Structure 1
Amino acid sequence: MYRDLAARREGEEREILLALAEAEGRHEEHWRELLGDQLGKPRKGDIRTRLLGFLARRFGSVFVLALAQRAEARSPYESDSDATAAMAADERIHGEVLRGLATRGRNRLSGTFRAAVFGANDGLVSNLALTIGISASGVATHVVLLTGIAGLLAGALSMGAGEYVSVRSQRELLDASTPDPESNRALPHLDVDANELSLVYRSRGMTPEEADTHAAEVLADNSLVVTEENDQHEAIGTGIGAALSSFCFFASGAIIPIIPYFFGLGGLPAILIAAGLVGLALLGTGAIVGVLSGGSPLLRALRQLAIGFGAAAVTYLLGLLFGTPTG
């Protein structure tokens, strides 16, 4: 699996994955030596392992790295009397290496992905709650459909606008905290005796002694680099990207609860079908979040389902309570 992942990478990530594959090769040799003449013919891996290898060959994405991270965490070497302590330690460290590689991918995804997941879930839950609440009140099917479409458009526009403002505000705050590269031009004209450069480093958290020492080194080299890498910009994403992602995914989620009403269904059958479709979608988004976060996909999926159905149940009961008689 590591070799398959390495084939889809280049540079440092490729070298890291090949080094992990080499370490797994040492583990293989350990078991070969223990088995000796009883080695037997090679056997296929279990379904989970073969699926992971297939995904690595076809995709090699952060999803595969996250799944591999969980696989390393399940290693039985620590409780296996035939495994060495070094092998158990290797597996533990492999998990941390994969966590680091997966984090890079998560940072590249997190801005738009966060907006996409939240947008889809908000669309699923809010429009399901809206449509079944209205439906429970006893109004006509076409009214429920129009209400669902209005909820889709209003929610998608609101989510997109809100996400744009949120991301832009975060980036502007980070930009305000990023050192100005134009400050480099002041370096040759600084008074070496006054050494006001040390104030820069003291403002960044250094002690006076550390700041004076570091400033002296910088002045001696006559090169000041005040710009700093800020991965948070990459993690946050762009305002336009987050807004479009949020709009589209909210709309894609919000359209699912109104599908039965498009086909003229109404009443309890439409509610049950809408709830079933939304339930499947919530399980899917919850599982994806679980995989990317390194947590249990099943627990995250069930949590999403419980939250979504809980909100929908409340509005359904309110619709029954305040609805108009249909008889």
Structure 2
Amino acid sequence: MSGGLGPTGMVHRHRNIQGGTARAAVFGVSDGLVSNVALILGIAGASTDPTIVRVAGVTGLMAGAISMAAGEYVSLKAQAELVERELAIERTSIAENPEAETAELAAIYVERGLAPEQAKVVAAELMSDPEVALDVHAREELGVDPTQLGSPLAAATVSFLAFALGSFVPLIPWLGGSGTGAVWASALLGVGATATVGGMLARLTERSVVRTAIRQMLVAGGSCVATYLIGGILGASVG
């Protein structure tokens, strides 16, 4: 978290929202919950044989977790490589064309409200240190913090574990249960857990806990109903 001094002298802090691990954790748990409870209830709608449902649930857990981890790794790796390429171009330009880069930085500050002469002074001061200059250009031109790119491997690991955790919750009733009771328990656990995730997300984003939790519950509940009905229709047609 970074800190700053507000206009009233009070220190305010910001969370790091650029790195990939926090996003991977939230989306991993949420996706795991919704996708696997929908899968489990879809299978249960066609057949309440607990063995079939368990196999489908575990398979969905593993396939989804691996897919999420792979996608997160590839996405963040590509993003990091793209940013690193742009930083390399910027570093070369700062070394070879410092006057042009200084003028470019000054122009940015003029657009933001500084007087031209003051902007030139600020830009020249920042450009006096190549590393500071690179950091400033990255933030002002590319819109990224080069120190907060995130780790693709860490994000992939978190994504895998989070998805697996979320997927496991609606599978719990089927480990020792079966039939209508397991169907209801799985649905209630899945929907209830999504509400909890929604509440946690609301606290992080400082949004309404109730509204966010209800939104998550509606999404999960709608998915459960839809897949259960589809499973029932397919099961009846196959049977």
| TM-score class, shorter | 0.7 to 0.9
Partners of 1:177 and 1:109 in 2: CA distance: 17
Question: Residue 181 of structure 2: SS of its match in structure 1?
Answer: helix
The one of 212, 223, 227 aligned to 1:311: 223
Deviations 1:125-171 (A, max 9, x none): 00000011001102521011001100000000000010111111222
The one of 9, 31, 45 aligned to 1:122: 31
Question: Residue 161 of structure 2: SS of its match in structure 1?
Answer: helix
Corresponding residue for 2:135? Answer: 228
Question: Residue 295 of structure 1: SS of its match in structure 2?
Answer: coil
Corresponding residue for 2:163? Answer: 250
The one of 100, 104, 108 aligned to 1:199: 100
Partners of 1:155 and 1:200 in 2: CA distance: 46
Superposition CA RMSD, Å: 3.7
Q: Is the 8 A contact 2:29 2:163 kept in 1?
A: yes
- Are positions 1:178 and 2:87 aligned together? yes
Q: What is the identity percentage for the equivalent residue pairs of Structure 1 and Structure 2?
A: 31
Partners of 2:156 and 2:165 in 1: CA distance: 14
Structure 1 residues 310, 201: CA separation in 2 closer, same or farther (over 3 Å shift)? Answer: farther
1:278 Cα deviation (Å)?
1.4
With the length of structure 2 as denominator, give the TM-score of the two structures.
0.78
Q: Is the 8 A contact 1:164 1:239 kept in 2?
A: yes
One-letter code aligned to 1:308: A
Q: Is the 8 A contact 2:30 2:163 kept in 1?
A: yes
One-letter code aligned to 1:250: F
Q: Give unpaired runs (5+ residues) of structure 2.
A: none
One-letter code aligned to 2:161: C
Partners of 2:202 and 2:25 in 1: CA distance: 15
Partners of 2:163 and 2:50 in 1: CA distance: 23
Q: Mapping of 1:134-149 within 5 angstroms? A: 134-138=43-47, 140-149=49-58
One-letter code aligned to 1:136: G
Q: Is the 8 A contact 1:129 1:311 kept in 2?
A: yes
Q: Give unpaired runs (5+ residues) of structure 1.
A: 1-11, 21-89, 187-195
1:281 Cα deviation (Å)?
1.3
With the length of structure 1 as denominator, give the TM-score of the two structures.
0.58
Partners of 1:222 and 1:128 in 2: CA distance: 57
Q: Mapping of 1:1-327 within 5 angstroms? A: 100-101=12-13, 103=14, 106-107=15-16, 111-138=20-47, 140-178=49-87, 180-181=90-91, 196-203=97-104, 206=107, 214=120, 218=124, 224=130, 225-228=132-135, 230=139, 232-233=145-146, 236-263=149-176, 265-324=177-236
Partners of 2:128 and 2:152 in 1: CA distance: 38
| Larger of the two Rg values belongs to structure | 1
**Highest relative contact order (Cα 8 Å, sep 6+), 1 or 2?**
2
Partners of 1:280 and 1:122 in 2: CA distance: 14
Q: Is the 8 A contact 1:115 1:243 kept in 2?
A: yes
1:282 Cα deviation (Å)?
1.0
